């Protein structure tokens, strides 16, 4: 009963805080994004502490007994030409495939022809085709599955299909098992707080999009919310059909030079990279890569709008090792809200236009540039909440183009044509206070 009441209080707060602080959003539909404010804290509250899962370490590289495309083998030619809006990607790849069996090893050579034509291949920028996966910056959707109007626990406004259509190529979400549940769901902190449904449904939508866009590379980071054995997740991942496009690394841990180019991944059909943050098993499931042996992250659930570009996870990572890994820049500013004596972190949506801006203090552009200067290369992932906000809708993609040193191609953004962003306007504080009192009475008698 207490958890149910807490959940109802969070839902009520998500509607009332925005009104009492005099902020709302005007858009073309009746559905509204919730605006929340709170008091920032210099230290992380308990629920915002760095996860304490086990971090894997490797004393040397291990060659995996898998089918893969090592960058040191095979011959690839990939050329593109642009005529108006159509880009043609041509090429072929011959890869050496080695499979380990109980009786030894067997080798074979497979030639995979390219598909003929696509508009703007290689994640919307043909210039990226010849670059290694490790030398590209993408915009990431923090907590991609958590989309719900009027919920403080939501992190995105548009569903995963819209996210991908708008240019997102990195998706992250946390998996948990609901109480008495029989299959894993995407849940935000607790399935009682926000349950976005079975992982198979969401992964199936990603698979449908990937199938329809054969010249794009998509990355999925799964958060192991229960620190469960991956054996419990794999059957449901397989059921989605997404393994048809999965990338399997040749070695672990993967260094920056070990990654293939986007063209190689596209021409071989290995266009989905998947990570698990904790408890990955590279021996059993080499395609479900351990995140923190290949990538590090800046501070988790940031409350500091200066966004220091320091290594937080994995902890105590030597600088020379950090320089040879991918890295994810967490740029999803949070606010601390106290409910029923508990502190929780929610997206600081009242600051989104600043946080996701291309330039200025506290902006995504400023933080990305600081990281690039500090580490002599840009972040691989710009992980954000509500990517459609900024100094204009979709300004986060301008920052990614800047980090990739390519000319920004401004595309329509964001979401479907039935929902759009117009701007922020004030509302009467008196109305907001009245609603707060109303929700409070409902909570007490409910």
Asked about 213 being catalytic, the answer comes back as no
Asked about 188 being catalytic, the answer comes back as yes
Is 442 in contact with 5 (CB distance < 8 Å)?
A: no
Q: H or E element: which one contains 434?
A: helix 429-445
For strands 62-63 and 251-252, give the pairing: antiparallel
C-alpha span between 279 and 174 (Å, rounded): 14
Is 63 in contact with 103 (CB distance < 8 Å)?
A: no
Is 258 in contact with 209 (CB distance < 8 Å)?
A: no
DSSP 8-state assignment for residue 385: S
C-alpha span between 115 and 269 (Å, rounded): 10
Calculate the alpha carbon distances from 158 to 232, 239, 254, 352, 417 in Å: 29, 24, 32, 15, 12
Residue of 142, 185, 213, 331 marked active site: 142
Calculate the alpha carbon distances from 293 to 78, 88, 95, 243, 278 in Å: 30, 36, 25, 22, 10
- Where do runs of H (alpha helix) occur along 299-428? 319-322, 352-355, 364-375, 395-403
Q: Which two tokens stand for residue 163?
A: 């996210």
C-alpha span between 293 and 326 (Å, rounded): 9
Catalytic residue list:
142, 188
């Amino acid at each position: 009963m207490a958890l149910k009441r807490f959940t109802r209080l969070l839902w009520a707060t998500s509607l009332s805080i925005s009104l009492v602080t005099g902020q709302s959003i005007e858009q073309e539909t009746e559905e509204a994004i919730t605006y929340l404010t709170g008091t920032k804290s210099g230290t992380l509250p308990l629920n915002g502490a760095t996860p304490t899962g086990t971090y894997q370490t490797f004393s040397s590289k291990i060659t995996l007994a898998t089918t893969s495309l090592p960058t040191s083998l095979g011959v690839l030619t990939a050329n593109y030409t642009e005529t108006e809006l159509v880009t043609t990607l041509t090429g072929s790849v011959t890869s050496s495939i080695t499979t380990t069996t109980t009786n030894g090893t067997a080798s074979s050579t497979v030639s995979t022809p390219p598909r003929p034509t696509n508009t703007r291949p290689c994640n919307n920028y043909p210039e990226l085709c010849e670059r290694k996966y490790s030398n590209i910056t993408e915009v990431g959707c923090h907590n991609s599955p958590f989309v719900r109007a009027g919920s403080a626990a939501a992190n995105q406004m548009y569903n995963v299909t819209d996210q991908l259509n708008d240019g997102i190529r990195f998706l992250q979400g946390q998996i948990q098992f609901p109480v008495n549940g029989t299959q894993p769901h995407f849940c935000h902190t607790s399935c009682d707080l926000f349950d976005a449904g079975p992982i198979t449904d969401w992964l199936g939508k990603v698979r449908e999009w990937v199938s329809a866009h054969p010249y794009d590379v998509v990355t999925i980071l799964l958060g192991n919310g229960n620190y469960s054995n991956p054996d419990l997740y794999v059957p449901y991942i397989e059921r989605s059909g997404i393994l048809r496009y999965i990338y399997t690394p040749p070695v672990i841990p993967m260094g920056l030079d070990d990654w293939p180019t986007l063209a190689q991944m596209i021409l071989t059909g290995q266009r989905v990279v998947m990570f698990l943050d904790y408890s990955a098993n590279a021996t059993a499931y080499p395609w479900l890569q351990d995140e923190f042996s290949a990538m590090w992250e800046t501070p988790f659930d940031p409350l500091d709008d200066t966004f220091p570009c320091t290594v937080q996870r994995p902890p105590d990572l030597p600088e020379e090792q950090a320089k040879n890994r991918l890295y994810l820049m967490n740029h999803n500013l949070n606010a601390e809200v106290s409910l029923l004596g508990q502190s929780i972190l929610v997206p600081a949506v009242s600051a989104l236009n600043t946080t996701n801006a291309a330039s200025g203090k506290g902006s995504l552009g400023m933080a990305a540039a600081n990281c690039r200067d500090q580490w002599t290369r840009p972040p691989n992932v710009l992980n954000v909440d509500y990517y459609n906000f900024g100094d204009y809708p979709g300004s986060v993609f301008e920052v990614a183009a800047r980090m990739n040193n390519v000319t920004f191609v401004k595309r329509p953004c964001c979401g479907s044509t039935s929902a759009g962003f117009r701007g922020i306007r004030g509302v009467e504080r008196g109305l907001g206070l009245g609603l707060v009192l109303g929700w409070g009475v409902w909570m007490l008698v409910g």
